[in-house]
Structure 1
Amino acid sequence: MSLALSLATESLIARPSGALFWPERQLLCVSDLHLGKSERLARRAGALLPPYETRETLLRLEAEIEATGARSVICLGDSFDDAASLDGLDEADRLWLTRLIAGRDWIWIAGNHDAGPLEIAGSHRAEVLLGGLVFRHIAEPGAQGEVSGHYHPKARLAGKVWRCFLADRARLILPAFGTYTGGLWCHDPALTGLLQPGALAILCGGAVARAIPMPRRA
């Protein structure tokens, strides 16, 4: 079950997957896919993780596109784990991604991991302004109507760790959508300094997107 919310008078839907849907524009937004992370870790550090995270992430992304009927997709940066990760994708995974892009207005926002334009279909932007919303990778102090990612927020409830959206009247920070991604506790000063008192943490990762008061350290 998804959760409806509004930002800058726009009606949005936080989905249990961690994706954001804008029904009026048939737009799906995801953040921090970190495709190719296992390959990057092996290449740079010799660390070996099961190399299936890209396929699992693409499977969930495809499911969200099909479930929402999205005609536009915005990826909010750090879509690839570094600039070389695209070249390191298996050919089958790269073709899969190409099929998802085909026929859709697909926008890649630059992140800190993948700052340069990459050789893949879609448009490549530093940020995007649509209606009353601005889409960028890293939140900016004082922004209004801002949708961003970068921090991979997470919260704990009933002894379980949940990825979460963070939302207040001015901004929305998306959770990481990628499979091999860590997270920053939402009571961290980097996040409490951005979000207003009364902000919500919208927990995702299960069957229901559930809103709770954003945890803050006393």
Structure 2
Amino acid sequence: MNTLDIPFGGRTLTILPSGAVWDRAAGWLCVSDLHLGKSDRVARRLGLMLPPYEVAETLDRLSADIAATGAAVVICLGDSFDDLAASAALEEAALHRLAALQVGRRWIWIEGNHDPGPCGLAGEHVAEWRADGLTFRHIADPRDTGPELSGHYHPKHGIGGGARPCVLFDAARMILPAYGTYTGGMPARGATLSALFPGRSFAVLTGRAPVLTPVTAAPRGRPMRRVG
């Protein structure tokens, strides 16, 4: 597996091709915005029938990352389900797959704006979580000086072509891309994300070979250094 190590919050975090973040030393794997059941919600609310394969595809990706890392802890940064009804309507096969993935490991469900309450599945359900000197939450808190990991915004960035989902970070915060299928994205250089990253920031473009690239340039006359 092609991965990229990033110094962050005094730790070394590994970015996987999927956009998951893995702490090798602590044994946790972090993902965000699975949005399981999105096709169900779209059909329910809009009457549009999307191919309902996104749950299986997202769980395939998660299973592969857990197998590759041997993660002892899985942290889901919110919006794990597209809404509470989608979590209740999850097919039995998907529930069995999730249950199997949880066996033998700690599982942290962080609340998101799409799933703001317990979803009836095993694991710990929390508003935020703190471990290893890091804060894990769904939406970045601009008042927090960090280090924090969050999701929600589905950042995307590109160099010389189309934008790709990316892990967006600076010295204080890291925002993970959406992990699920049928999820859009927000430009890393757009107004919303630029406000959260007023200084130098970087993106790791996801895909078969993660690519590190600056999003904002270093001040003129000063060399760019890796953050940590």
**Which amino acid is the alignment partner of residue 28 of structure 1?**
L
Correspondence for 1:60: 61
Contact residue 201 and residue 215 of structure 1 kept, 8 A? no
1:28 paired with 2:37, answer no
Correspondence for 2:220: none
Q: Take 1:210 and 1:198, find their aligned partners in 2: how far apart are those partners? A: 17
Give the secondary structure class of the aligned counterpart of 1:84: helix
CA RMSD of superposed structures (Å): 1.1
Correspondence for 1:152: 154
Give the secondary structure class of the aligned counterpart of 1:63: helix
Give the secondary structure class of the aligned counterpart of 1:32: coil
Correspondence for 1:69: 70
1:86, CA displacement in angstroms?
1.2
Residues 116 and 7 (structure 1), Cα distance of their counterparts in 2 relative to 1, 3 Å cut: same
Contact residue 88 and residue 119 of structure 2 kept, 8 A? no
Q: How does 1:124-139 map to 2 (within 5 A)?
A: 124-139=125-140
Correspondence for 2:223: none
**Which amino acid is the alignment partner of residue 163 of structure 2?**
V
Give the secondary structure class of the aligned counterpart of 2:67: helix
Q: Which runs of 4+ in 1 moved over 6 A?
A: none
Offset from partner CA, 1:95-145 (integer Å, 9 cap, x none)? 111111121100000000000111000000000010210000000013211
Correspondence for 1:165: 167
Q: Take 2:205 and 2:143, find their aligned partners in 1: how far apart are those partners? A: 24
1:159, CA displacement in angstroms?
1.8
**Where do 5+ consecutive residues of structure 1 fail to align?**
none
Q: Take 1:208 and 1:185, find their aligned partners in 2: how far apart are those partners? A: 20
Correspondence for 1:188: 190
Q: How many residues align?
A: 215
Give the secondary structure class of the aligned counterpart of 1:60: helix
1:207, CA displacement in angstroms?
1.3
Contact residue 150 and residue 174 of structure 2 kept, 8 A? yes
Contact residue 31 and residue 176 of structure 2 kept, 8 A? yes
Q: Which deviates the most, 88-97 or 73-82?
A: 88-97
Correspondence for 1:95: 96
1:37 paired with 2:35, answer no
**Where do 5+ consecutive residues of structure 2 fail to align?**
218-228
Offset from partner CA, 1:1-49 (integer Å, 9 cap, x none)? 2111122201111111100001111100000000000011101110110
Q: Take 1:106 and 1:51, find their aligned partners in 2: how far apart are those partners? A: 25
Offset from partner CA, 1:49-103 (integer Å, 9 cap, x none)? 0000000000000000000010100000000000111121111111111111121
Residues 56 and 215 (structure 1), Cα distance of their counterparts in 2 relative to 1, 3 Å cut: farther
Q: Take 1:152 and 1:184, find their aligned partners in 2: how far apart are those partners? A: 6
Q: Take 1:14 and 1:96, find their aligned partners in 2: how far apart are those partners? A: 24
Rg larger in structure = 2
**Which amino acid is the alignment partner of residue 163 of structure 1?**
P
**Which amino acid is the alignment partner of residue 119 of structure 1?**
G
1:215, CA displacement in angstroms?
5.6
Residues 131 and 98 (structure 1), Cα distance of their counterparts in 2 relative to 1, 3 Å cut: same
Q: Take 1:196 and 1:102, find their aligned partners in 2: how far apart are those partners? A: 41
**Which amino acid is the alignment partner of residue 153 of structure 1?**
P
Give the secondary structure class of the aligned counterpart of 1:11: strand
